Every structure is written in structure tokens, then in C-alpha cells.
A and B are shown apart, each in its own frame.
Chain A
Amino acid sequence: MRALPVVRAVLGAAVLLWAAAPVAVAQSDPQADHAHAMAGAGGDRMPRTFAYTPATIAAFERLPIQESGRVKPFLTYSRFLLLRLAERTSVAVPDEPRFGDLAGASLEPVSWALDVMLYPAQADEYPTFLIPDRDLLDRVGLGEAAKRKRDRYSFNDLRPGIERIAQEARPLLDKEEKVRDRLQNQLVYLYRDLSDYMSLRTAFTAARAPFRVGDSEVLRSVFGDVSSVRFADGARNYGQLSTQFMRLRSDQEREAELQAVGDFLRQQREVADLSSYVIWLPPSDQRTEAWLDLDGVFGEIGRDGPAAHGTQLQAIELQQNVADAAARASTTSDPTALEAAATTFVDHVRRMTSLRGEGSHVDMEVTYYRVKWLYWALILLVIGCVTAAVSWAFVKSRWPMWLTWSAVGSGTVMLVVGIVYRCIIRQRPPISTLYETFLAVAAGIAIVGMVVEVLIRRRIALSAAAYLGATTLWLADRYEFMRGEDTMPQLQAVLDTNFYLSIHVTTVTLGYMASLLAGGVGAVYLIGRLFSDDVGFFQAVGRIVYGVLCFGLLLSLFGTIMGGIWANDSWGRFWGWDPKENGALMIVLWQLLILHGRMGGYWRNWGMSMLAVIGNMIVAFSWFHVNLMGVGLHSYGFDAGLKSAVVTFYWTQGAILGLGFVAWLLMRTRAETARLRADATPATSSGGA
């Protein structure tokens, strides 16, 4: 899954190097110098002196673009780009007088992205790039610019090192992530981040740039008596100019004209190329799935003529209007004209998208991110954790339990609504990515926890639901921040089956959920035994562990065999001992072991709880660890960034097992004491695990 950004980074290399060394390029390549000069001439040096109106932001949030193979709102693109660069969803404008009224403001993703596109010189000053390791700065010669550990760097801070970053990173792109060392990986990520930033930065370059007509007779015959034209004018006449150019090549006496027309065409293509990374232009041909980048427009117009692409050319003109309005707003500080231009432009692109039958879920996706269902679900579950803790402290009071029910219940509803939103947007079952497994496990734990609490009213299951649900959802949040990639990606061909995705993946993931819930309640048993000897309470805990394990076995076994059947249809074998398959098998075997051992009387509640906690480690192994191995057919799930989290989890479970062992010693001591007392004073006694 990392391959895509790397490819994008390779494609963006030219842009990056262009940004890194404009002076050197200008000295050596007059054409590039011209492109660079034009890119700057249209107003990219202007500051933003006003606040965007809410309507401007709302319009751009809903702008459909095609990225990573799907049509999505611009909000999604800018949000994940900012997450990847800054590991945040906002950027703080430096609190300095030169930023005027904006000083100290916090910019949401779309405001930030608009600044990068429309006012790049200003955005280059924003602290945007998180560089976790100072060694990386030393390596690329920026050691003197180093800040504190979690401080962000502006593009201008990094600009002096860009050439070296590109030089050192490019040879590393062909190597797999797992064979590169930590610093090399960070270098590649920084290179990719800078490329992506530059892609956004140059998205409006074509819209801003004037193209010189000069004294060329041919150009004047096409454009009239003007000194320069805009990109859309050039694109509209591209076919005609190309024909003229071909004629001039055979006319030796008009070399100056040939040069002028050739330069014009080349400059247009170069600037189009610079502005081609954010793809927002739907093609006219309904059969073509790939949207057009600006460079692609030339090919279409050259082939079909401008009349066939009137709506595309109009969209380009409307984008130019946005650029013009932004430049004017900079001097007048009046954002209303920009609002009008932005709304018209976005509405036009949305109409084009809608006519193709695409983008029907763009608004829903914007709502999904604006409402932040999962964020509120997490907050409510965390509140549930607090009230659950209070309920254990004030056992006789009922209101903390009611608050816990309310918080966990409403948090679960928010979470389920968020998952339903995702299903509708993606037209997929709830789980088709690693990220979505977190959401499903959190929802499953919360729902099953509440059901068990209804059956066994001991506060244990509801508390476990709150804690484990909140923890899993928090992990989802961290995972999203760590990856900084769209969590609703397109799927590889092998995964493109809603039948198996909805049955196999869902049941296996819910099997993880049940195992974790059993392990979580098992941990309550082991830790609780350190402090209490309430036999009735711990028998209830044991019943929960047992019941959830039975439920988990049903799901895990069904899901694992169903996975084999899917593999039989996809890869030609039911079972191939692939690491992911083995992980699922281990969960099933372990659950069978626990249940058979219990039936055989080899262990009771304490032993079952210890084994259930070991089961947590097996789930972590199956869920994440096998993805770190880089072996097997489930390569769509590989993710090296999770290693330290998985190892930490193993250690925490090991610590719980250690506490469980201490609890066992205590239980033995208590039983021995009770026995001695019973011997001393004849009476009945009971208890034990």
C-alpha cells in the first residue's frame, strides 16, 4: 500500500527539483526559467489578508477530485495530505505581525490547502512538516534549523535542503520499506511529503500564469492583438497552433515564428504538467474512467477539437477566475468575489461529475468528516470509562451506572452510524481495510459488552465494553494519524467481492473482537483477584469469559473456514499455510484448547482467564504481527509502522499474566489460611477459582 505514494513521489520529483533550485534552473534552461517566471507572475507571491468566507470553504470542501482511483471531496484529499505532513488536521499560522489578522489562527485542512494553492508564498511560511528525528535534518544539511522534537517546519525552513533530500531519497525508492533503515525511511517519507506539498502548491499555477504572445504573427492571428493570453485560450487553440507549428517546420524562412510558436506550446505543456497533480477535470467521454489532468486536456482537444470539450474549457476558465479573484482579494481584503468565483467553479465541476453519474457520495463524505462521528464516539466511550470507574468506587449509587449506560450506548450509536456512513460512501461491507477492522472491533466489543451486561448485571461487561471500545477506537484514531492515507481506498482486484468481504472478513474480525473481549474480562479476573476474594463476583466473571469465548469460537471458526473457501476460489487452494491464515487458525486452536481443557477439568476460571489473556497476544499476532513479516499472499495488509505498538501490547499482556501469577499465589495463600482456620475452628468454607 506504500507503493502508490512512492510512485507519486517519483512523478513529483521534477516539480520538487524545480522548486528546489529555481535560480540554477533559470541559468541553465531559459524555458524552465520562463515557466517559473510565469508561475510567479500571476500572484503566487501575494499574501492572504482576509478570512475565507464559510461559503468559500464549503464550496471547496465539496469539490470532487479523482485521487487514488476514486472520486472524493477535496476535503478528504486536503485532510489526509495535512495529516501525512503534519500528523495534525490543522495548521497554526505563526503568531507574527507579518501575517496580519491571520496571525495565530488555526487553519482547517481546506483553508490550509487553499492557502497553499492560492497564496503559496504565505503558506510556505506555515509550520507544516513534522520531522520526528533530528538526525534526518543533520543528514540533509539542515541541522542548524533544528527545532524541538515535535515542532513543525515550514516549507521555507526545508527549502535549502530540498535538493539534497531529493538526491539522497531517490536511490532509496526502489528498496522495500523493511530493508531500509529508520533514517532512510524517514528520508523517503520526507521526500514524498515535499513532493505532495509541491503538487498541491502548483495546482493553480496554470490558472494564474499569463502566456506571452509577443510579436509572433501566427500567435497574433490566433489570439488577436494581445500581449499575453491565459491557459484556457491556449488550450482552446491547441489543435490549430499544433497544425501551424507543423507547417512552420517545413518553412525554412520563418524560423523566428517557428521558435515563437514552439516556445508557446512548450510553455503551455510545461505549466500544464506542473498543475496536473490534483485532478479535478472529468472527461467528456462517458466511457473513460480516468479524469483528465491539465496536460491531458491538450491530447483531448488535439484529437476532438475544442467544441467537443466546451465544458472542460469552461471549467478551466472558471478556475482562472478563482485565481484572479484570489489575487484581487489579496489587495482589497474583500473575500466576496472569491466566494462567488469559487462557488461557480465548484458548482460547474460538480455538474460535470454528476452528469457522468459519479460523485454521488461526495456530500455524504463531507458530512462524515464534518460531523466527526468517530471522534464523538471516542469521546463518549471515554466518558463511559470515567463513569464506569466512578460506579466501581460508589457501588451503592445507581447514577454512575446509568451514566455509563448512556455514554457507552450513545457512543456505540455514533460509532455504528459512522460505520454505516462509510459503507454507503464506499458501497462496501463494513470491513475491507485494516483501519476498518479497528472500527468493527470497537463496535463489536461495545455491543456484545452491553448484551452481556444485560444478561449478567455485574458492571463487568459494560465496563470492559467502555474501556476496550475506547482503547480500540483510540487505536483507530492513532492508526489514521500515523498513516495519513485515505481510509476509504480502492481495493485490489482480489478483494473486489462484497460477498466474501461481508462474510469472511466480518466474521474473522468479530472473532478477534470476541477473543479480545474475553481476554479483557480475563484480565479483570486476574487483576481483581489481587484485591478481592468475592467468590460470586469472580464466578460471574468466569461465566462471561466462557460465554464470550464460545461466541468467539463460532465466529472465528466460521470466518477461518470461509476464508479458506474464498482462497479456494481466488488462489486455487483451500489452505496454503499463509501467515494470515495461520494467525486465524491459531486463534481457533487456542479457543478450542481453552474450552476443551475447561470441559476436561484441567483448568477453571483462573486458568481460563490466563489462557484468554494469552489469546489476546495470539489475536495481536494474527491481526497485526503477520503483516510485519512481509511474507505471504495477504500483501495488501502489510504495515511496518505497527511493530512497536504490537511489541508493547505483548509486554502489557505479559505483565497481566505476571499479575495473574501473583494472584494465584495470593489465592493459594488465602485458601491455605482459610484451611488452617477451618482446622482450628470447625466450620464450613468455600471458594476458589
Chain B
Amino acid sequence: MKVLNAVIRFLGSFGLAAAILFLLTVLTLLGTLAQEDVGLFRAQQAFFESWFVDPELVGLRLSRIGLFDVPIMPGGMLLMVLLFVNLVIGGMVRMRLKARNVGILITHLGIAWLLVAGVYKQVTADEGGLQLFEGEQSAEYVSYHDWEILVEERIGAVAADGTAEVKQWVLDGDRFTDAVGPRTVTLHTDDLPFRLTVSGYLDNVTIDRARPGVPPATPVVDGFFLVSLPREKENEMNLAGCYARAIRADGSSSDGILIGSDRTLPWTVAAEGRTFAVKLRKRRFDMPFTIHLDDFIHEYHPNTRMAKEYQSQVTVMDGDQEVPVRIRMNEPLRRDGMIVFQSSWGPTNAGPGQKLYSGFSVVRNPADQWPYWSLWVITAGMLIHFIMKLTRFVGRELGGKQA
């Protein structure tokens, strides 16, 4: 019990709070500077979404400014969990309930709520993008960072416009991205007459033709092999790639290469008299409604190329309902837990009369408005606390002077 009390005292102490705040400041500084070297996405993963920071990344920065290497550095996740624990124990549970502490208590409640909102979003939210030309519509959006393996089979005749009805299977989320180095991952669904074994997953690749006398570092399939490229700073620019082996029920197999590019043809697999196309593509998410882009308007400030405004007039189709909505910068569409933001447009070099597309960011975030409400809780708490302190101080000063 004594030890438990000591641990609780330590976890709720000012000392731990100060240490966490100091380390968080340093971590934020290093994670910010590292963005120059490795880009935002990787710095975010390495510094702020990790339990411990890769010492090499920390050292990279510190050695640049002439400091020593750090063997171990707690990451953002660890520090924020500790901060939450410290806040709850020291700033709420163990805090003495007095009138003068009310403001602090409310502030801590608000900050705890904000931290919970961050974690909840991290766990539950999906985000991606959607591009629509005027007249187009969509009920799905595309992840910026995550990949998926899609298997397609044509089940109807090809129509006059070249389209055909297809059946699609998405294989087991993003588990295949673990197939790095010697590891393999097997994906399977009962509807398919084959299982897929993925190996040699790489974050950023190009494909090359094998040449006699030059043995490649990766396996060669049908005369081609994957070449690993350095990761781009802008994560959206990376093209993932992997090797796949389709193993049929009769034990026979065929090998293929998958690249996350629209410009390469899908790998075809034949099994039990059926033909399947296998693709690596950015992950798709469904929306609970369809968005139809009616009109896109963009304006420059007069006689300049500086964007003044761009906005999309869309129709939200939800069952029988059709609702006209305007989406513009700082005025997103919020509906059914989805938030759709105006983010870009193009082609930027479009000529007069040429159709434009509107780019949207789409987020599914159940905690979307939590920071907003926590802000007011925090502000109320701080105002109560500081006004009480100021009143006491002024009273003391004036009292002192009058005396």
C-alpha cells in the first residue's frame, strides 16, 4: 500500500508534470525541425505518434546543431499518456476541493477532454480526399496514406461504353503492409478460388526490367522487379509495391507484382475458369451519402493569380433526400459524422470553358466537435482561476497601500 501510494503520489506530482512538459517541448521542437529532413508525415509518425523516437532521427537533428546524440527519447504517445495520467491523478483526483481550486479543476477537465478527443480521433477517424469534375458524383473517398489490395471479377457483359458490372473483394485491410523483408502475409476470402501470399512490401518503388548479368536485389517476375526508392517527404507521393503469389485450391500458383499506380495494368489471375484482376490501390472509404458536384466557382483577386475564393455547389443525395449545399474554405459540410472540406481545385492551367474539378478533404471523425467544447471548458476554468487570483492580488495591493 505504501508503495502504491508512493507511485500514485509520483504519478500525480508537479515534478512529473514539469518533466513531461519539458520533454514535450523538446520533442515538439525536434519533431518540427525534423520535418525539414524527413517531411511532415514521417516526422509525425516518428516523433508524435510513437512510444519512443528513433534515436537516429533525434541524433540527425541534434548533431546538425552541434549537440550530442540521445540514446533514448520518449515519443509523443508515451508523453501524452503520462500527461493524461498525471493530469487525472494530480490535477483532478488528488486535488483538494477548495473554492480557489475550482478554476484549475475545470481547466484540467477540459484538457483531459481534449487529450481524449485526440486519442479517440486517432483510433476511430478516417480521412482522405475526393475529386469531382462538375457533373460527377461519388459516395466514397480515397485515403491519402493507406493502401489496400483489391480483387475484381467481371460478372456481366461489356456494355457499349466499355463498362461492365464487376464484383470486388478488398483483402483484409492493410495487413499486407507487414510483409516487409523476409515476412509474408497470406490473405484469403471464402468467395475466391485462390489465396494470396504477399511478400517484399516496399513503401516507395518503381519497376524495372531485369537485364542479363545484373542480378537485382528483389525477385524477378516475368522479367521485371521492384526497385526500392527513398521515401518522399510528402507521403502522398510514395508509390507502394509488393510481390504476390496466388495459390489455387489445386496447389498450383502464379506470381505477380503489384504497384500502387493507376498507370500500370492490374495483375490477372486465372483460377477455376474465372479471371480476376488484382490491384494495389489507395484505400477507399464509403460515405453514408452521395455528393454530386453541380458547380465549381473559383475567383482570383482582380488582376492577380492569388486565390480569392473557391467554392463548390453540391447536392447531397441521401436516400430520397436531395439537399443543395455550398462548401467553401472555412465552411465545410458536416453530416452524419462526416465532414467534407473544400481543399483544392484543378487543373490549375485549365483554359476558358474547360471543365474543372473540385478537390475535397473528407474526414469521418466522431470527436469532431470535442475540441471546440473542451476549449470553452478550459477557457472558463482559466478565467475563473486567474480572475480569482487577480482579484485577490489587487485587493492585497490596495489593502496594503491603504494600510
Question: Which residues of A pack against B, CB within 8 Å?
Answer: 3-4, 7, 66-70, 279, 289-291, 293, 455-456, 490, 492-494, 496-497, 500, 543, 547, 550-551, 553-554, 557-558, 561-562, 564-566, 568-579, 582-583, 585-586, 589-590, 592-593, 596-597, 599-602, 618, 621, 626, 629-632
- Complex contacts, B32 vs chain A, CB 8 Å: 577, 579, 582-583, 586, 626, 629
Pick from A558, A582, A590: contact of B379, CB under 8 Å: A558
| Minimum CB–CB distance for A507 against chain B, Å | 10
Complex: chain B residue closest to A288, CB-CB: B302
- Complex contacts, A494 vs chain B, CB 8 Å: 329-330
Q: 0/1 per residue, B350-387, Cβ < 8 Å to A? A: 00000000000111000010011011001100110010
Pick from A553, A565, A571: contact of B375, CB under 8 Å: A565
Is A493 touching B302 in the complex (CB atoms < 8 A)?
A: no
- Complex contacts, A572 vs chain B, CB 8 Å: 127, 332, 339, 341, 343, 361-363
Q: Which residue, of B14, B28, B307, has the highest number of chain A Cβ atoms within 10 A?
A: B28
Q: List residues 273-306 of chain B with CB under 8 A from any CB of chain A.
A: 300-306
Q: How far is B327's CA from A569's CA once the two chains are assembled, in angstroms?
A: 11
Take A494-B329, A569-B330, A577-B31 as given contacts and tell me if A290 and B378 are in contact as well, using a CB distance cutoff of 8 Å: no
Q: How far is B17's CA from A597's CA once the two chains are assembled, in angstroms?
A: 8
Is A7 touching B305 in the complex (CB atoms < 8 A)?
A: yes
- Complex contacts, A547 vs chain B, CB 8 Å: 390, 393
Q: Identify which of B19-27, B203-211, B263-271, B316-324 touches chain A.
A: B19-27
- Complex contacts, A290 vs chain B, CB 8 Å: 302-303
Judge whether B164 is part of the interface by a CB distance below 8 angstroms.
Answer: no
| Minimum CB–CB distance for B328 against chain A, Å | 8
Q: 0/1 per residue, B120-138, Cβ < 8 Å to A? A: 0100000100000000000
Number of interface residues of B (CB under 8 A): 63
Is A554 touching B341 in the complex (CB atoms < 8 A)?
A: no
Judge whether B394 is part of the interface by a CB distance below 8 angstroms.
Answer: yes
| Given A569-B331, A572-B362, 15 further pairs, Cβ under 8 A | A492-B306, A492-B307, A493-B329, A496-B309, A497-B329, A547-B390, A550-B389, A562-B375, A570-B341, A572-B127, A572-B332, A579-B35, A582-B32, A592-B21, A632-B40
Judge whether B257 is part of the interface by a CB distance below 8 angstroms.
Answer: no
Complex: chain A residue closest to B14, CB-CB: A600
Is A291 touching B310 in the complex (CB atoms < 8 A)?
A: no
- Complex contacts, B361 vs chain A, CB 8 Å: 571-572
Closest 7 CB pairs of A and B: A600-B14, A69-B301, A572-B361, A290-B302, A593-B21, A289-B302, A572-B341
Pick from B114, B300, B343: contact of A561, CB under 8 Å: B114
Is B28 touching A575 in the complex (CB atoms < 8 A)?
A: no
Q: How far is B304's CA from A596's CA once the two chains are assembled, in angstroms?
A: 50
Is A558 touching B306 in the complex (CB atoms < 8 A)?
A: no
Q: How far is B24's CA from A586's CA once the two chains are assembled, in angstroms?
A: 8
Judge whether B346 is part of the interface by a CB distance below 8 angstroms.
Answer: no
Is A558 touching B375 in the complex (CB atoms < 8 A)?
A: yes
Complex: chain B residue closest to A591, CB-CB: B21
Q: 0/1 per residue, B174-216, Cβ < 8 Å to A? A: 0000000000000000000000000000000000000000000
| Minimum CB–CB distance for A623 against chain B, Å | 14
Q: How far is B383's CA from A558's CA once the two chains are assembled, in angstroms?
A: 11
Is A570 touching B330 in the complex (CB atoms < 8 A)?
A: yes
Take A496-B308, A626-B32 as given contacts and tell me if A593 and B378 are in contact as well, using a CB distance cutoff of 8 Å: no
| Minimum CB–CB distance for A312 against chain B, Å | 16
Q: How far is B302's CA from A228's CA once the two chains are assembled, in angstroms?
A: 35
Complex: chain A residue closest to B39, CB-CB: A631
Judge whether B235 is part of the interface by a CB distance below 8 angstroms.
Answer: no
Judge whether B15 is part of the interface by a CB distance below 8 angstroms.
Answer: yes
